[in-house]
Amino acid sequence: MTTKNTNQEIDLIELFSKIGNSTNNFFTKIFTNTFKLVSTLIFYLFISIKESTRFILKKWVILTIFIILGYTTSLIIIKKTTPYFETYATIQTFTISSSELIEYVNKLTALTETQDSIAIGKTLNISTSVAASIKKIYAYWLIDINNDGVADEIDFDNSFKLDSTSTKIKINNRFVVQLDVYSPEYINEIQDKFANYISSYPKLTQTIDIKRQSLISEINKIDNEIKIIDSLKRYEYFTQPKAILKIQQERAKQKQGSVALDKILFQTTPNIQQEMIPAPELLHDVVLQLYQQNIKNKAELASLTEPYIFVSKFEDVHCPVNINKTTHISAKLSFISLFLGVILSIFIDYKKDIITFINKK
């Protein structure tokens, strides 16, 4: 029994010893390989820096010439680029959806893309010189990301797609219009003419007329109902179903002939009581509901005088959009030119080998 226990203890010691040795070897190999890899990378990085420095010092004249050529080219491009100014307006509609007005606004976009100043001038009722200053007009959807009714982003790429896994939606009563102009002094004039252009949308005026007539008709109808109720006396603020009232009137005529309405309304007989006549209802709540409905209708009718509003108008701007990219363009062209200089230098040094390789292919 003692010998068996001793053997088990020896086996466990050997097992843990093997595990320890394996773990030690594993981490030693990882550390060694990592060290070798880092050392190799540092070595080749050093060699690359060394050779690059040697190459630059050897070809610094031609590389400098190419950098100057690239920078000069960028200055020429920037100088020939006409500066333009960018501003935005936000429009909210009350009687028509954004989709229809966006489509109507973007008819101007087609004209601006062709730079048809005459057509733009006629459409917006502005002079040709003002129309020529317009670079772009484009309407964009507003996107509500978390579905809280507040715009979170503008769909500049016109790439929004409804996704059942997302809460993103298009805001259907508000959109943004981008205006790019070459002459910022015309922004206010374009703002006024653009507002008139939207107001001239045929379906907008047609929808307003139909809705106005409908609201006026409903307001007049409710006013008449209120007048009828207000003309009643004390007892006539109570009403009963028309069928029961008709029965009462017929029976009263049979018994008494012509009787005053106030006596009919309050007259009850055992037979009518047996027919379970409902209790009279107060008309005060009805009057209040009619007043509230008419207040709502009149407010909506008043809003029809402004079928849309500019939540924000095109603002005056003074800093060109494209001129701000001067540094970016200069750096980009200088780098491209430097790269071409390096390629040319390599080709000059190894042109024989390159030609031989090409001929073999």
Report the distance separating Cα 229 and Cα 231, nearest Å. 5
Q: What are 8-30's pLDDT values in tens digits? A: 555 666 766 667 667 767 767 77
Q: What are 38-84's pLDDT values in tens digits? A: 888 888 888 888 777 887 788 788 888 888 888 888 878 777 778 88
Total domains, the chain: 4
pLDDT recorded at residue 18: 67
List phi, psi (to 5°) of 202: -55, -45
Q: What is the CATH number of the domain that holds 158?
A: 3.30.70
Most confident of the ranges 27-31, 91-95, 289-293, 326-330: 91-95
Q: What are 255-282's pLDDT values in tens digits? A: 555 444 444 444 444 444 444 444 445 5
Query: Is residue 122 located within the same domain as residue 242?
Result: no
pLDDT recorded at residue 81: 76
The 3-state DSSP class for residue 336 equals helix
Report the distance separating Cα 137 and Cα 108, nearest Å. 7
Higher local confidence (pLDDT), 330 or 8: 330
Query: Is residue 183 located within the same domain as residue 269?
Result: no
pLDDT recorded at residue 256: 55
Under 8 Å between Cβ of 175 and 139: yes
Higher local confidence (pLDDT), 246 or 57: 57
Name beta bridge partners: 295: none
Query: Is residue 164 located within the same domain as residue 266?
Result: no
Q: For the chain, give the longest Cα–Cα distance.
A: 132
Residue 302 exposure: Cα atoms within 13 Å on the Cβ side: 6
Q: Is the pLDDT of residue 104 over 80?
A: yes
> C-alpha 30: how far from its chain's center?
52
Query: Is residue 94 located within the same domain as residue 196?
Result: yes
Which pair of tokens denotes residue 242? 């028309």
Query: Is residue 98 located within the same domain as residue 39?
Result: no
Report the distance separating Cα 270 and Cα 247, nearest Å. 13
Query: Is residue 166 located within the same domain as residue 313?
Result: yes
Q: What are 227-242's pLDDT values in tens digits? A: 776 665 444 444 445 5
- Neighbour-count burial for 272-302, b at 16+ CB within 10 Å, e otherwise: eeeeebeeeeeeeeeeeebeeebeebeebbe
Query: Is residue 283 located within the same domain as residue 347?
Result: no
Query: Is residue 92 located within the same domain as residue 195?
Result: yes
Query: Is residue 8 located within the same domain as residue 95?
Result: no
Query: Is residue 90 located within the same domain as residue 173?
Result: yes
The amino acid at 89: A
Query: Is residue 240 located within the same domain as residue 356?
Result: no
Q: Which has the minimum average pLDDT: 61-75, 233-247, 282-296, 322-336?
A: 233-247
User: What pTM, to 2 d.p., does this model score?
Assistant: 0.54
Domain extent at residue 1: 1-58
Query: Is residue 92 located within the same domain as residue 177?
Result: yes
pLDDT recorded at residue 160: 77
Distance of CA 54 to CAs 41, 49, 51, 59, 65, Å? Answer: 20, 8, 5, 9, 18
Higher local confidence (pLDDT), 245 or 193: 193
Q: Is the pLDDT of residue 150 over 50?
A: yes
Q: What are 171-225's pLDDT values in tens digits? A: 888 899 999 999 889 999 999 999 989 888 877 777 777 777 887 888 888 777 7
Q: Is the pLDDT of residue 347 over 70?
A: yes
What is the 3-class SS of 257-295, one letter each residue?
CCCCHHHHHHCCCHHHHHCCCCCCEECHHHHHHHHHHHH
Mean pLDDT of 148-163: 78
Cα–Cα–Cα angle for 262, 235, 275, nearest 5°? 70
